[in-house]
Every structure is written in C-alpha cells, then in structure tokens.
Amino acid sequence: MVAAHGCASRPSSASARSMRGSWQEGPTAPSCRGPAKTARRRRPRGRSIPRMHDIDALLPLGRGRDTTRLREYDADALARYVADPANAWWRRRRCVHALAGRVPESRVPDLIARVRDAGETTEVRVALLDVLGDRTELLPWLRHEEHHDERPYGMAEAVLKARGRLGDLSAAEDLVTLAASPWSREQDAGRAGLDTLVARHGPDAVLARLGDARPEDRMFRIRMRARSGEDVTDALADPDRAVAHLAQSLADDPVRLRAYLTEAPTTEAKLWAACALHRLTEDGAGTRAVYESLGRPRVEVAGLDEELRAAIVHEYAPGCRRRSDPRWRVEALVTDPPAAADMDDRLRRATAALAAAGLTPGAPPSRATTSSSRATARIYRGPRTTGRTFCVSISGPFRHRPRSPTIRTPPPGPPSKRPASGGSTRRPVRSPSPTCASTTSAAAIRSTSAPCSFTGRTDAPAARARRRPRCPPPRCTRARPGRSRRAWPARAGSRSRG
C-alpha cells in the first residue's frame, strides 16, 4: 500500500525489525523524506585569520606556556597583540620575544610608539628595545638628554645598549661605566653595546674617547689588550682592586707570572700574581711557598677566634667581591678548612651528661631528624611548670655564642593556673640568648669554664598573661536576596550604632 503523499504505509512490528536490519546494512537507508543528501564540507577561502584569544591560550596564567608554538605564530598577529595596551603586559613581553628577527614592517611604527610611551610598562619597553634596537629611526629619540637618566628600573641600561647597537660613539663613556658595574645584568648590557661599537668603528676609535683617570676606562683598556693577545701582567699593580682583579682573571702566562713575583712593586701585586698562578696551575704547594716567602700576610681582626676565622675564610673568601683584599683569597688557598664536628658523638655525650645530672632525657635524635638549616637539636623538655628545655648545638660555636655559662632557673613563685573563664595562656618566653654548659659530665653542667657545645634554655615567666578573647564577627547589614535585613548583635559594653 502506498499513501497519498508517497510514503510507505506503516509495516508491522516483525516486518519493521527485519526491514530495519536490512536498511542499516546498506550504504544508504530509505527515508520517507525523499532521497538522502550528501553533506559537503565547506573549504575555507584563503588563510584563516588568527584570533587574539588563541595567544591567550598559548600563554595561560599558570603553567603550560607554549613558547615554541608562539615563535611559530603569525608575526602580524603578535605585533598587533603587543601594540594593544589592553592586553596583559607579561603576555605582550613574551610576544615581543617571539617577534625577534621577524618584525613586520607595517607594524614597526606602532611598536616604536609603545617604546616612546612613558606610561607603558617598563618590561615591555625593554623587550621592544632589544628587538628594535637596530632601527635607525630610534636614534634621535635615544640621543635626547631626557632619556639618559630614565627613572624606571632597567630602562636606562636598555637605552644605552640600543645606542651602542646603533653605533653611537657618544655613548662610549657611559657604556664603559655600565660594563664595569658589579651587577651582571648591567655588565651584559654594557658589554653588548661596547662589542657593537668596537665591531663597527674599531677599538682605537672607542679608546680615543676614553682616558686613564677612571678605573672603568682602565678596565676597558685591559680587556682590549687581552683580546688582542697582549700581556696584562703589569696591571696587577693597579691601585684599584677591581682593575687588579680583572687583570689576574685575564692573565694566562704562568712563566710571566712567576717572573713577576720577583719584580712586583707591592705585596698586594704579588698576592694577585699568586692568585692568578694558582688559577692556572692549581699548585697548592707553590702558592703556599709564595705565601710563606711574603711573611704570611693576612687581615687581622681583633677578637676573632682562629677556628671561627677559618670557617669564615673558607666559606666566603673564594667567592668574595672583586674589591676585597687579596690577602683573604690567598689565605683561603693555603689554609685547611675546619674539620667537621661529630654530631652523633656530641649528642651522645649531651644525653649522658643529662642522665648523670638526674634528668631523664629522651633518645638522641638521629642524623635524619637534624639538618644543616636547624641550629639545635632538642633532647630534653621538662614539665610546662618548669619550662626547662635543653638543646644541643648542631653548628658548634659558629651559631650560638654563649653570654652566660651557667644555667638560669625560673624566678620564685608558684606557676599561674589556667583561668577559669576558659581563656588560654601564652607559652613560656625563652631567653633571647641561650645558656651554655658542657656535655662531658654532670658536674660540668654547672661549670663555668667548660667548652660551649651544649645549650639549655630554662627561663619561664612567673605570671602568664591572658590572651585577648576572640572578637565577634563584624556587623552585617547587607540585605540578601530572599532574606530580611539583619545585623549581628553588638558587643557587650560597646555603643550601638543607632
């Protein structure tokens, strides 16, 4: 049977099931709506336009920033993103780094406008100067006097570096000063600008604008001499220690340094030569012989213990600043570091001393429970009424220097009880400086002449102050949807606000 509209009549349930199976097996199933239409996939016309939110997806707020795909992103879209101040500055800075070497010419004026804008974020301006530092249209703006001393952090260094990259010889003196800075960030900016100036104009043209009065100028001359292969050993006698330190780091002839040990005009110059020779040969015996021949010169510090001095010298002298006295450096090369203390033995002796004194200390803590960041290891804690706590110094005499070698006791008087109102009490306030006693015997705990390897803190206040009761929550008068306006009750004894 065929209906009036051309659709098949409704079959029975059994025939429908059989027909359904046969329809599903075929390539196309018949439909009462007419022949099936094949869906065609629309092809994009031309290249798809990148969207700004795609850049935000590549640079999320947390982890997962895909800088590799960002460097492959469309350069024009990145430039438009950077030129828009409404975008986050840290995302724009990443986009500037991704534009290195592929800045679109049509977007250069917009990016230069961002550099010139004083209200722009400094990090974005510095990144743009690194990318656009070779654009000659920036040079008149960079040469202006008001940009020589930029207020934002890091902007003045970026301006000087860009002037050097553009070949501005008038910035040579400032770049030399920047390259001699003790901070690595300023050093890198100054040396990058100077390298471009030297490559473009030659070292003689740059040196012609410098003198010899400033230590910074002499440091640049030494670098140029070392780069050309000249001997810089004579600069070890420079009165400025920064210049002498640079010379000893650039000296590379051991034979010349050994000869200079006999002809150096000052003892300090000989010490600098010994440092350079030790760096090249690593001959500790030879350095020690030079140190002995000079009379073992060292910087005397009144009241400084020898063991503590050795610890300070070997901890800080190898990496000290360049203007430090060379006697500290040579002393660190020729002396032995202090021996490490036996922590387990120290804890055992402290525990035995407390047990002999009639106390009941716990088991000595293992090495795993102590670390170099902790100053002491607690081995005994008495009742709260006495407030006695005994600790053993992990750092030896280098951390806790005792002022009183006797153990102090709490002041007389019964300990205060907990208030009946339920208020809490404060913990005992310990002494600001720990006391010290010996760890060898029970009698040595009370001795005043024992070595200081054990610390005990026993101070406790006679009266304990009550803590201030917790305040009720603030008044809430903001109406909530579906609820009536209400307020928290006022505190007892306080004025009510109408």
Integer angstrom CA distances of residue 211 from 79, 86, 129, 215: 43, 48, 30, 10
* The pLDDT of residue 456: 38
For residues 137 and 162, give the distance between their C-alpha atoms in angstroms, rounded to a whole number.
12
Q: Which has the closest alpha carbon to 440: 346, 359, 307?
A: 346
Q: What are the residue ranges of helices labelled H in 228-342? A: 241-250, 254-263, 267-281, 284-293, 306-316, 326-334
Q: Which has the closest alpha carbon to 181: 325, 323, 324?
A: 323
For residues 103 and 361, give the distance between their C-alpha atoms in angstroms, rounded to a whole number.
72
pLDDT (tens place) for every residue of the chain, 498 residues total: 444 444 444 444 444 444 444 444 444 444 445 444 445 555 445 444 455 568 888 888 777 788 888 988 999 999 999 999 999 999 999 999 999 999 999 999 999 999 999 889 999 999 999 999 889 999 999 888 555 555 778 898 999 999 999 999 999 999 999 999 999 999 999 999 999 999 999 999 999 999 899 999 999 999 999 999 999 999 999 999 999 999 999 999 999 999 999 999 999 999 999 999 999 999 999 999 999 999 999 999 998 888 889 989 999 998 899 999 999 999 999 999 888 777 777 778 877 887 888 777 766 655 545 554 455 555 555 555 555 666 666 555 555 444 444 434 444 444 444 444 444 444 433 333 333 333 333 333 333 333 333 333 334 344 344 444 455 555 544 544 444 444 444 444 444 444
* The pLDDT of residue 319: 86
For residues 377 and 391, give the distance between their C-alpha atoms in angstroms, rounded to a whole number.
5
* The pLDDT of residue 75: 92
* The pLDDT of residue 411: 46
The 3-state secondary structure of 249-274, one letter per residue: HHCCCHHHHHHHHHHCCCHHHHHHHH
* The pLDDT of residue 164: 94
Q: Which has the closest alpha carbon to 476: 464, 465, 484, 468?
A: 484
Predicted structure pTM score: 0.63
